[in-house]
A and B are shown apart, each in its own frame.
Chain A
Amino acid sequence: MRDKIVYLLGIVAAAILAWNTWAISQLPEETAQGVTFKIIFFHVPMWAGAGLTVTLALLASILFLITKNFAFDALAVATTEVGVAFLTAGLVTGSIWGRQIWGIWWAWDARLTSALLCWILYAGYLMLRHAIEEPTQRATFAAVFNIFAFLDVPIVFFSIKWWRTQHPQPVFWNQGSFPPDWTRHFMWNMLAMTLLGVVLTVVRFRQEEVQREIDAVRRTAHAF
Protein backbone atom coordinates (compact mmCIF):
# COMPACT_ATOMS: atom_id res chain seq x y z
CA MET A 1 0.00 0.00 0.00
CA ARG A 2 2.80 2.40 1.02
CA ASP A 3 4.68 1.55 -2.19
CA LYS A 4 1.59 2.31 -4.24
CA ILE A 5 1.22 5.75 -2.60
CA VAL A 6 4.88 6.55 -3.26
CA TYR A 7 4.70 5.52 -6.93
CA LEU A 8 1.37 7.36 -7.30
CA LEU A 9 3.03 10.53 -5.97
CA GLY A 10 5.84 10.00 -8.52
CA ILE A 11 3.30 9.72 -11.35
CA VAL A 12 1.50 12.87 -10.11
CA ALA A 13 4.84 14.77 -10.04
CA ALA A 14 5.72 13.59 -13.58
CA ALA A 15 2.24 14.52 -14.84
CA ILE A 16 2.45 18.03 -13.31
CA LEU A 17 5.92 18.52 -14.83
CA ALA A 18 4.80 17.33 -18.28
CA TRP A 19 1.67 19.51 -18.29
CA ASN A 20 3.48 22.52 -16.84
CA THR A 21 6.36 22.26 -19.35
CA TRP A 22 3.76 22.53 -22.12
CA ALA A 23 1.98 25.42 -20.32
CA ILE A 24 5.28 27.29 -19.82
CA SER A 25 6.12 26.90 -23.51
CA GLN A 26 2.88 28.81 -24.27
CA LEU A 27 3.85 31.80 -22.09
CA PRO A 28 5.10 34.93 -23.90
CA GLU A 29 8.80 35.85 -24.18
CA GLU A 30 10.46 37.77 -21.38
CA THR A 31 11.33 41.34 -22.51
CA ALA A 32 15.09 41.29 -21.89
CA GLN A 33 16.06 37.61 -22.06
CA GLY A 34 13.58 36.14 -24.54
CA VAL A 35 12.54 32.51 -24.15
CA THR A 36 15.85 31.54 -22.50
CA PHE A 37 14.43 33.15 -19.35
CA LYS A 38 12.02 30.20 -19.06
CA ILE A 39 14.91 28.04 -17.79
CA ILE A 40 14.21 29.77 -14.43
CA PHE A 41 10.99 27.68 -14.14
CA PHE A 42 13.18 24.58 -13.78
CA HIS A 43 16.47 25.98 -12.47
CA VAL A 44 15.07 27.61 -9.30
CA PRO A 45 12.74 24.73 -8.26
CA MET A 46 15.71 22.37 -8.61
CA TRP A 47 17.79 24.57 -6.30
CA ALA A 48 14.85 24.83 -3.91
CA GLY A 49 14.58 21.02 -3.93
CA ALA A 50 18.32 20.79 -3.25
CA GLY A 51 18.02 23.30 -0.39
CA LEU A 52 15.17 21.37 1.17
CA THR A 53 16.89 17.99 0.93
CA VAL A 54 20.25 19.15 2.31
CA THR A 55 18.45 20.89 5.20
CA LEU A 56 16.71 17.58 5.98
CA ALA A 57 20.11 15.86 5.71
CA LEU A 58 21.51 18.31 8.28
CA LEU A 59 18.65 17.59 10.70
CA ALA A 60 18.98 13.82 10.17
CA SER A 61 22.75 14.01 10.78
CA ILE A 62 22.29 15.97 14.03
CA LEU A 63 19.60 13.52 15.17
CA PHE A 64 21.88 10.58 14.37
CA LEU A 65 24.69 12.04 16.49
CA ILE A 66 22.24 12.55 19.38
CA THR A 67 20.32 9.26 19.21
CA LYS A 68 22.72 6.91 17.32
CA ASN A 69 19.61 5.63 15.53
CA PHE A 70 20.68 4.31 12.09
CA ALA A 71 17.34 5.30 10.54
CA PHE A 72 18.54 8.93 10.74
CA ASP A 73 21.78 7.94 9.02
CA ALA A 74 19.75 6.31 6.23
CA LEU A 75 17.63 9.47 5.95
CA ALA A 76 20.78 11.63 5.77
CA VAL A 77 22.21 9.53 2.90
CA ALA A 78 18.90 9.45 1.04
CA THR A 79 18.30 13.21 1.27
CA THR A 80 21.92 14.08 0.46
CA GLU A 81 21.96 11.86 -2.63
CA VAL A 82 18.70 13.34 -3.93
CA GLY A 83 20.11 16.77 -3.08
CA VAL A 84 23.22 16.09 -5.17
CA ALA A 85 21.01 15.10 -8.14
CA PHE A 86 19.08 18.39 -7.80
CA LEU A 87 22.33 20.36 -7.33
CA THR A 88 23.76 18.81 -10.52
CA ALA A 89 20.63 19.65 -12.52
CA GLY A 90 20.62 23.18 -11.03
CA LEU A 91 24.26 23.80 -11.92
CA VAL A 92 23.87 22.45 -15.47
CA THR A 93 20.69 24.41 -16.25
CA GLY A 94 22.26 27.57 -14.78
CA SER A 95 25.36 27.12 -16.90
CA ILE A 96 23.28 26.71 -20.08
CA TRP A 97 21.31 29.87 -19.22
CA GLY A 98 24.59 31.73 -18.58
CA ARG A 99 26.02 30.69 -21.95
CA GLN A 100 23.10 32.29 -23.76
CA ILE A 101 22.61 35.39 -21.59
CA TRP A 102 26.20 36.19 -20.49
CA GLY A 103 27.96 34.54 -23.43
CA ILE A 104 30.01 32.31 -21.08
CA TRP A 105 29.39 28.90 -19.55
CA TRP A 106 30.80 29.77 -16.15
CA ALA A 107 31.80 32.78 -14.03
CA TRP A 108 33.81 32.54 -10.82
CA ASP A 109 31.50 34.85 -8.89
CA ALA A 110 30.45 34.29 -5.27
CA ARG A 111 27.12 32.53 -6.06
CA LEU A 112 28.45 30.14 -8.68
CA THR A 113 31.66 29.34 -6.81
CA SER A 114 29.88 28.68 -3.49
CA ALA A 115 27.28 26.57 -5.37
CA LEU A 116 30.02 24.47 -7.00
CA LEU A 117 31.72 24.11 -3.61
CA CYS A 118 28.38 22.92 -2.20
CA TRP A 119 28.16 20.24 -4.91
CA ILE A 120 31.78 19.15 -4.24
CA LEU A 121 31.15 18.95 -0.46
CA TYR A 122 28.02 16.81 -0.78
CA ALA A 123 29.56 14.61 -3.49
CA GLY A 124 32.52 14.26 -1.09
CA TYR A 125 30.09 13.17 1.65
CA LEU A 126 28.80 10.35 -0.58
CA MET A 127 32.37 9.31 -1.47
CA LEU A 128 33.43 9.39 2.20
CA ARG A 129 30.72 6.85 3.01
CA HIS A 130 32.20 4.40 0.52
CA ALA A 131 35.65 4.80 2.09
CA ILE A 132 34.70 3.65 5.64
CA GLU A 133 33.80 0.00 6.26
CA GLU A 134 32.68 -0.04 9.89
CA PRO A 135 28.97 1.07 9.99
CA THR A 136 28.97 3.08 13.26
CA GLN A 137 32.21 4.87 12.40
CA ARG A 138 30.95 5.52 8.86
CA ALA A 139 27.66 6.98 10.08
CA THR A 140 29.36 9.16 12.73
CA PHE A 141 32.05 10.56 10.41
CA ALA A 142 29.46 11.11 7.67
CA ALA A 143 27.10 12.94 10.05
CA VAL A 144 29.89 15.28 11.21
CA PHE A 145 30.94 15.89 7.60
CA ASN A 146 27.33 16.57 6.59
CA ILE A 147 26.99 19.24 9.31
CA PHE A 148 30.28 20.79 8.14
CA ALA A 149 29.10 20.73 4.49
CA PHE A 150 25.89 22.56 5.42
CA LEU A 151 27.94 25.62 6.50
CA ASP A 152 28.20 26.43 2.78
CA VAL A 153 24.42 26.42 2.20
CA PRO A 154 23.63 29.85 3.78
CA ILE A 155 26.64 31.26 1.89
CA VAL A 156 25.16 30.00 -1.41
CA PHE A 157 21.74 31.41 -0.52
CA PHE A 158 22.83 34.85 0.68
CA SER A 159 25.84 35.33 -1.63
CA ILE A 160 23.80 37.43 -4.06
CA LYS A 161 22.85 39.75 -1.20
CA TRP A 162 26.25 39.89 0.47
CA TRP A 163 28.43 40.42 -2.60
CA ARG A 164 28.11 41.97 -6.06
CA THR A 165 27.69 38.92 -8.27
CA GLN A 166 27.28 38.26 -11.95
CA HIS A 167 24.39 35.98 -10.98
CA PRO A 168 21.08 37.92 -11.17
CA GLN A 169 19.46 39.33 -8.04
CA PRO A 170 16.47 37.38 -6.65
CA VAL A 171 13.21 37.58 -8.60
CA PHE A 172 10.92 36.72 -5.68
CA TRP A 173 12.38 38.81 -2.87
CA ASN A 174 14.53 41.95 -2.58
CA GLN A 175 12.20 44.05 -4.83
CA GLY A 176 12.09 41.46 -7.61
CA SER A 177 8.94 40.95 -9.67
CA PHE A 178 7.27 38.10 -11.53
CA PRO A 179 3.87 38.31 -13.32
CA PRO A 180 1.09 36.50 -11.37
CA ASP A 181 0.27 33.93 -14.09
CA TRP A 182 4.00 33.13 -14.40
CA THR A 183 4.18 32.74 -10.62
CA ARG A 184 1.39 30.15 -10.79
CA HIS A 185 3.33 27.99 -13.26
CA PHE A 186 6.49 28.49 -11.25
CA MET A 187 4.72 27.28 -8.10
CA TRP A 188 3.39 24.20 -9.94
CA ASN A 189 6.98 23.31 -10.79
CA MET A 190 8.04 23.93 -7.18
CA LEU A 191 5.31 21.52 -6.05
CA ALA A 192 6.28 18.91 -8.67
CA MET A 193 9.99 19.09 -7.75
CA THR A 194 9.14 18.81 -4.04
CA LEU A 195 6.96 15.75 -4.73
CA LEU A 196 9.71 14.25 -6.89
CA GLY A 197 12.22 14.91 -4.11
CA VAL A 198 9.97 13.22 -1.55
CA VAL A 199 9.42 10.16 -3.78
CA LEU A 200 13.13 9.76 -4.59
CA THR A 201 14.07 10.22 -0.92
CA VAL A 202 11.55 7.61 0.29
CA VAL A 203 12.73 5.06 -2.32
CA ARG A 204 16.42 5.74 -1.53
CA PHE A 205 15.74 5.59 2.24
CA ARG A 206 14.18 2.13 1.88
CA GLN A 207 17.10 0.95 -0.26
CA GLU A 208 19.53 2.09 2.43
CA GLU A 209 17.59 0.25 5.13
CA VAL A 210 17.46 -2.95 3.05
CA GLN A 211 21.20 -2.65 2.37
CA ARG A 212 21.91 -2.33 6.10
CA GLU A 213 19.80 -5.42 6.86
CA ILE A 214 21.63 -7.36 4.12
CA ASP A 215 25.00 -6.30 5.58
CA ALA A 216 23.89 -7.34 9.08
CA VAL A 217 22.66 -10.76 7.88
CA ARG A 218 25.88 -11.26 5.90
CA ARG A 219 28.03 -10.43 8.94
CA THR A 220 26.00 -12.84 11.10
CA ALA A 221 26.23 -15.57 8.46
CA HIS A 222 30.00 -15.15 8.21
CA ALA A 223 30.37 -15.14 12.01
CA PHE A 224 29.03 -18.71 12.27
Chain B
Amino acid sequence: MYTLIAQITQDELAREALRLQHDYEFLTYGLIAAWVVLAAYVLMMIGRQKKLKREIEGLRAMVDEKQGR
Protein backbone atom coordinates (compact mmCIF):
# COMPACT_ATOMS: atom_id res chain seq x y z
CA MET B 1 0.00 0.00 0.00
CA TYR B 2 2.84 2.37 0.95
CA THR B 3 4.52 1.52 -2.35
CA LEU B 4 1.34 2.56 -4.16
CA ILE B 5 1.11 5.84 -2.24
CA ALA B 6 4.77 6.52 -2.95
CA GLN B 7 4.04 6.17 -6.68
CA ILE B 8 1.57 9.09 -6.60
CA THR B 9 3.37 12.20 -7.73
CA GLN B 10 2.78 15.72 -6.44
CA ASP B 11 1.40 16.64 -9.87
CA GLU B 12 -1.25 13.92 -9.68
CA LEU B 13 -2.25 15.03 -6.20
CA ALA B 14 -2.55 18.64 -7.34
CA ARG B 15 -4.62 17.57 -10.36
CA GLU B 16 -6.95 15.54 -8.15
CA ALA B 17 -7.36 18.45 -5.72
CA LEU B 18 -8.12 20.80 -8.62
CA ARG B 19 -10.70 18.36 -10.04
CA LEU B 20 -12.40 18.08 -6.64
CA GLN B 21 -12.43 21.84 -6.21
CA HIS B 22 -13.91 22.27 -9.69
CA ASP B 23 -16.57 19.61 -9.02
CA TYR B 24 -17.62 21.24 -5.73
CA GLU B 25 -17.69 24.62 -7.45
CA PHE B 26 -20.20 23.39 -10.04
CA LEU B 27 -22.27 21.51 -7.45
CA THR B 28 -22.51 24.77 -5.49
CA TYR B 29 -23.52 26.69 -8.66
CA GLY B 30 -26.21 24.08 -9.32
CA LEU B 31 -27.65 24.29 -5.82
CA ILE B 32 -27.51 28.10 -5.74
CA ALA B 33 -29.23 28.31 -9.15
CA ALA B 34 -32.02 25.96 -8.04
CA TRP B 35 -32.67 27.92 -4.83
CA VAL B 36 -32.40 31.32 -6.54
CA VAL B 37 -35.05 30.37 -9.13
CA LEU B 38 -37.45 29.07 -6.45
CA ALA B 39 -36.75 31.99 -4.09
CA ALA B 40 -37.34 34.48 -6.93
CA TYR B 41 -40.69 32.82 -7.64
CA VAL B 42 -41.70 32.92 -3.95
CA LEU B 43 -40.72 36.64 -3.80
CA MET B 44 -42.79 37.26 -6.94
CA MET B 45 -45.72 35.56 -5.23
CA ILE B 46 -45.31 37.73 -2.10
CA GLY B 47 -45.19 40.84 -4.31
CA ARG B 48 -48.42 39.80 -6.05
CA GLN B 49 -50.07 39.16 -2.66
CA LYS B 50 -49.20 42.72 -1.58
CA LYS B 51 -50.57 44.12 -4.86
CA LEU B 52 -53.85 42.25 -4.36
CA LYS B 53 -54.10 43.58 -0.80
CA ARG B 54 -53.61 47.14 -2.09
CA GLU B 55 -56.27 46.60 -4.77
CA ILE B 56 -58.78 45.31 -2.21
CA GLU B 57 -58.12 48.30 0.04
CA GLY B 58 -58.58 50.62 -2.96
CA LEU B 59 -61.90 48.94 -3.80
CA ARG B 60 -63.09 49.17 -0.17
CA ALA B 61 -62.26 52.88 -0.15
CA MET B 62 -64.17 53.31 -3.44
CA VAL B 63 -67.23 51.46 -2.09
CA ASP B 64 -67.12 53.50 1.16
CA GLU B 65 -66.90 56.71 -0.86
CA LYS B 66 -69.91 55.73 -3.01
CA GLN B 67 -71.96 54.77 0.05
CA GLY B 68 -71.03 58.08 1.70
CA ARG B 69 -72.61 59.99 -1.19
Contacts and interface: CB of A to CB of B under 8 A. Distances in A.
Contact of B37 (A89, A100, A218, A221): A89
Chain B interface main SS type:
helix
A165 interface: no
Interface residues of A, number: 31
Contacts of B5: none
Query: Size class of B's contact patch?
Result: 20 to 34
B42 A200 contact: yes
Contact of A99 (B26, B45, B56): B26
B26 A214 contact: no
Contact of A21 (B22, B31, B48): B31
B26 A221 contact: no
A207 B52 contact: yes
Interface string B14-31: 000001101110110111
Contacts of B66: 221
A36 interface: yes
Nearest to B63: A221
Contact of B33 (A96, A218, A221): A96
Nearest to B62: A221
B49 to A, nearest CB: 6
Given A39-B30, A85-B37, A218 B48 contact: no
Given A93-B33, A211-B52, A100 B22 contact: yes
B56 to A, nearest CB: 7
Given A211-B52, A221-B62, A221-B66, A85 B33 contact: no
Interface of A: 21, 29, 34-36, 38-39, 42-43, 46, 82, 85, 88-89, 92-93, 96-97, 99-100, 196, 200, 203-204, 207, 210-211, 214, 217-218, 221
